[in-house]
Chains A and B, each alone.
Chain A
């Protein structure tokens, strides 16, 4: 039985590492990135894609980790599930962490399955005290097992629960503080949820603890008018880029990357998008200094 303990944050306030502008590493871009050595500061992998015994994924991972700082981002930690933690998964993840030596490890503030079933989807839960205690206790156990702090990401959601007693950002803040973990703040997900649940996305940005935000995600979505689906299959929408600018003005330098998981364009197109993110960042930083 793991005994949850509280740990000191390894990054004191205002000394969070800033790794710049990254991309999600996907097999579709392996060769283009290796051949072109483009202007990318760091890469984020989907951890589960490399929890395999051998073959191409691990071969390419070794090539990339020699060339770029790597962040590990998972989708299967099932943090908020009421099932016991899957220690086999966490052991495999720990082995991969030892191999990759990532700049950090993240997963989502959600659950993916229960009663030993896995939907492979990121599922929401009610924002109340029972959820906070449940999740934060599990994050502490995970951090103890992995022997490092983790980042948890806000997810996109399409429903909310009558049982909720607080806003999503109040909930995330409480979880992070109870668990002593960091935040991977997905700007697109904030925008998606703001539209799907009718709140002001700036309230969200101003409502989470600045000192715990270590990374941003940016991605495209699919706008259906009355609701938005977080699809990662298109370029970043203009309102999300605008919200990102406001996030930079509020949080200052935070490592940021673009996730693209479907409808893959040529690498050049993603690099142009990353340049646009850089420009927005620089403008926001300049305005912040004024």
Chain B
């Protein structure tokens, strides 16, 4: 048997559920009989280690999801995800990248809005934590911009910055679960926008007002300062727009996510 065939059979055997004896039989005849441990038991050590390792990664990336939905839903979710998305990358860091999408279509959770939103929130925290470093604009940046340049001025958001729209009190639930307390789960009257970013090394999250969310989305879409001010007219009288725009810009500079 070639090394390639042996490796293909071994990995098929590891991926197989332990009840799939066909894949195990293709491989176990290659193994030595040693001591009191049978080849089947030896194979199961690798099968168990594979699943335990990936369960561990999901636990680590989604520390509150399992607490929210309980073992009866969490274990089938993890098991189905591991089967559906075997890792193709050398690094295990992004193994869970598809889970926020996968949970939306997972039969027993696809209508479980709080689980879907919490999963999305936890993965965003993880993504922001490892995002590329970038140099934030200094707080006094605005003072040095000539007046004529303001209308065409554009900003960029730091790597790892994200806006999330939650219809439930998702962050409140996450905080309660993080503290091992029982959350009160509520549907919000109006969806709430949250921004997640990293200030220096610390991942931050905060709810944002509707006009602020609109402007942040506009910045993400590459619009200039004139566009931002025009957008504010939807919520503010014209004479208050400059004040609100500068207030928000100053605030964002303080939070360190404009680059």
Contacts and interface: CB of A to CB of B under 8 A. Distances in A.
A88 to B, nearest CB: 8
**Which secondary structure dominates where chain A touches chain B?**
loop
A162 B31 CA distance: 5
Query: Which 6 pairs from chain A and chain B are nearest by CB?
Result: A54-B133, A53-B132, A76-B90, A82-B4, A159-B42, A114-B7
Interface in A223-237: 226-227, 229
Given A81-B7, A119-B14, A162 B30 contact: yes
A115 B8 contact: yes
Interface string A152-165: 00000011111110
Contact of B131 (A51, A53, A160, A229): A53
B88 A163 contact: no
B31 A48 contact: no
16 contacts: A48-B90, A53-B133, A55-B130, A55-B198, A76-B90, A78-B90, A81-B7, A82-B7, A114-B7, A114-B8, A114-B11, A115-B11, A117-B11, A117-B86, A130-B3, A229-B45
Contact of A56 (B11, B34, B93, B201): B201
Contact of A48 (B15, B32, B91): B91
B50 interface: yes
B43 interface: yes
A118 B30 contact: no
Given A118-B90, A164-B32, A227-B37, 8 more contacts: A48-B91, A51-B91, A51-B93, A53-B130, A76-B91, A82-B7, A117-B87, A121-B53
A283 interface: no
B129 A160 contact: no
Interface string B14-37: 110000000000000011101111
A124 B13 CA distance: 14
B85 to A, nearest CB: 11
Contacts of B43: 159
Contacts of A117: 11, 15, 86-88
A166 B10 CA distance: 21
A129 B87 CA distance: 30
Contacts of B39: 159
A90 to B, nearest CB: 9
A52 B34 CA distance: 42
A227 B1 CA distance: 28
B87 A161 contact: no
Contacts of B92: 48, 120
B90 A86 contact: yes
Contacts of B3: 82, 125-126, 130-131, 134
Contacts of B2: 82, 130
Interface in B112-153: 129-134
A113 B8 CA distance: 9
B34 A196 contact: yes
Interface range, A side: 35 or more
A176 B215 CA distance: 60
A59 B130 contact: no
Given A55-B133, A56-B129, A114-B11, A160 B88 contact: no
Nearest to B198: A55
Contacts of B131: 53-55
B54 interface: yes
A34 to B, nearest CB: 14
Interface string B53-97: 110000000000000000000000000000000111111110100
Given A48-B91, A160-B32, A227-B37, A125 B50 contact: no
A120 B53 contact: yes
Nearest to A78: B90
B121 to A, nearest CB: 18
A121 B86 CA distance: 13
Nearest to B89: A118
A82 to B, nearest CB: 4
A166 to B, nearest CB: 14
A121 B89 CA distance: 13
Contacts of B198: 55
Given A55-B129, A55-B131, A82-B7, A158 B91 contact: no
B132 A54 contact: yes
A8 interface: no
A121 B37 contact: no
A159 B49 CA distance: 14
Contacts of B53: 120-121
B1 A163 contact: yes
A116 interface: yes
A36 interface: no
A81 B37 CA distance: 27
Given A115-B8, A125-B7, A59 B90 contact: no
A198 interface: yes
A119 B88 CA distance: 9
